[in-house]
Structure 1
Amino acid sequence: MHAINALTSTLASTARGWRGTRGAKRSRQPEEMLQLYEYEGCPFCRLVREALTELDLDAVIYPCPRGGTRFRPQAEAIGGRQQFPLLVDDNTDTLLYESSEIIAYLREHYGEGRNRGVAAPGALAAIGANAATALRGFAGIRASGATRAPGELLELYSFESSPFSRLVRETLCELEVPYILRNMGKAVNADMGPPWVREKFFADTPVEGRNRKRMMEETGRMQVPYLIDPNTDTRMYESADIERYLRTTYG
């Protein structure tokens, strides 16, 4: 089953033209972390997460799947309605709905160089995002039922188009487990492809990207997904293992 999920997740990334793969080498980092109320299977939330990867921005993710009871009421209390995505930026006292407005805001306030002027996604992007959701069988849309909430936020190193990271994000969403999304977009061409390509052919290429440097310093590897759970002092790679751990611990 995991192999089938990995295949359909790869097809989902292909449907979006692998947007959310490359990350900026530099960006203006907010002092306080961005907060995003969203759910993984939402096509418009997908477009915002792509922009976060491409701008090298982290965010606290509050999963709001349909039928969820943990953060949907909280989102409504903040913004007045249950509409997603919802971005909260305490750095500028900004509250935004609508993916196109959120993406334009992120690029204006936190983008550097040409990343600031990239046009917001249009109709074709929305079609691709919807196709990606359908290819995943609408995973990451509905809450899985009663779950246990963690005391401290988990951390997930990921980038939006990573097929294996998507499987973990879907699980986190369905379980309504909040987490810090550490985006690890590929900042240089040497990072394109699986990790072994860099190790074999580009081992001497300097590591670029804020979270890529951080992961290399801490673990000696650049592999996603990578989950840190301070509640159980757990650190782990491999999507199948992470999914199993999350469902056992918080399901």
Structure 2
Amino acid sequence: MGGKLQFPYMVDPNTGASMYESDDIIRYLVDKYGDGNVPLSLSLGFLTTLTAGLGMLSRISKGTTYTPAKFPPKPLKLWAYGGSPFCKLVREVLVELELPHLLVCCARGSPKRNILYQKTGTFQAPFLEDPNTGIEMFESAEIIEYLRATYALQ
């Protein structure tokens, strides 16, 4: 789409803006949808990249390779938040299988947590909804097993 083999690449369908470079994307999102103040932990340039990379060393190849998969007619929905290692495990598999999905971010303080609570009677993330099969489930290990069994081409 952008003409380069470079990631990340963001397209904002609300404004038509598109861009590369993590720092530019963060600045754009904070200016457009936030309060205009980039959090210190995301404004340190190379140091931010270095510390994020160090945190991923133990899972260095996860989410970076493609596993052939069936393409679902409808996108899956994953309720998750970035700080959860269990949510990260599920996202890695969704990425490896290249399954289209809607990520519903429900971080602490988000009103979306209450929506999930009202829907399920509890708050637990990750929570997967698959409109293609009618499956709704918690527990990262079970979600991963389901995704591989349902969509991975063996």
Structures share fold, TM-score greater than 0.5: yes
How far apart are residue 124 of structure 1 and its match? 2.0
User: What TM-score, normalized to structure 2?
Assistant: 0.92
Shift of 1:210: 2.4
> After superposition, where does 1:170-209 map in structure 2 within 5 Å?
170-187=92-109, 209=110
Q: Which has the higher contact order (CA 8 A, sep 6+)?
A: 1
Quick one: distance in 1 between partners of 2:44 and 2:80?
Answer: 22
Q: CA RMSD in A?
A: 1.2
1:215 partner SS? helix
2:77 to 132, 155, 159: 155
Who is 1:249 aligned against? 150
Distance in 2 between the 1:101 and 1:173 partners? 23
- Whole-Å separation in 2 of the counterparts to 1:174 and 1:181: 15
The ranges of structure 1 where at least 4 consecutive aligned residues each deviate by more than 3 angstroms after the TM superposition are: none
Structure 1 Cα separation of the partners of residues 49 and 60 of structure 2: 17
Partner of 1:38: none
| Inter-partner Cα distance in structure 2 for 1:127 and 1:92 | 31
State how far apart, in whole Å, the 1-side matches of 2:30 and 2:98 are: 28
Aligned to 2:29: 106
Provide Cα deviations, 1:164-214, integer angstroms capped at 9, x if missing partner.
Answer: 011100111111111111111111xxxxxxxxxxxxxxxxxxxxx221121
SS of the counterpart of 1:228?
strand
**1:232 alignment partner in structure 2:** 133
Residue-by-residue CA offset, 1:95-146 (whole Å, 9 max, x unaligned): 111010000000001013xxx21253422221111112211132111112x2
Matched, 1:126 2:49: yes
Query: Percent identical across equivalent pairs?
Result: 40
How far apart, CA to CA, are the structure 2 residues paired with 1:224 and 1:243? 13
SS in 1 for 2:28: helix
- What is the alpha-carbon distance in structure 1 between the residues aligned to residue 59 and residue 23 of structure 2? 23
Question: Displacement of 1:217 after TM fit?
Answer: 1.3
Question: What 5-or-longer segments of structure 1 have no aligned partner?
Answer: 1-77, 188-208
Give the direction of change, closer, same or farther, for the CA distance of 1:242–1:133 in structure 2 (3 Å limit): same
The whole-number CA distance in structure 2 between the counterparts of 1:178 and 1:106 is 22
1:229 aligned partner, one-letter code: D
CA–CA distance in 2 between the matches of 1:161 and 1:231?
28
Task: Give the 3-state SS of the residue equivalent to 1:244 in structure 2.
Answer: helix
User: 1:150 is paired with a residue of what secondary structure?
Assistant: coil
Q: 2: CA distance between counterparts of 1:149 and 1:176?
A: 8
Paired residues for 1:1-251 under 5 Å: 78-112=1-35, 116-119=36-39, 120-144=43-67, 146-187=68-109, 209-251=110-152
Question: How far off is 1:219 after superposition?
Answer: 0.9
Give the C-alpha shift of residue 147 in structure 1: 1.1
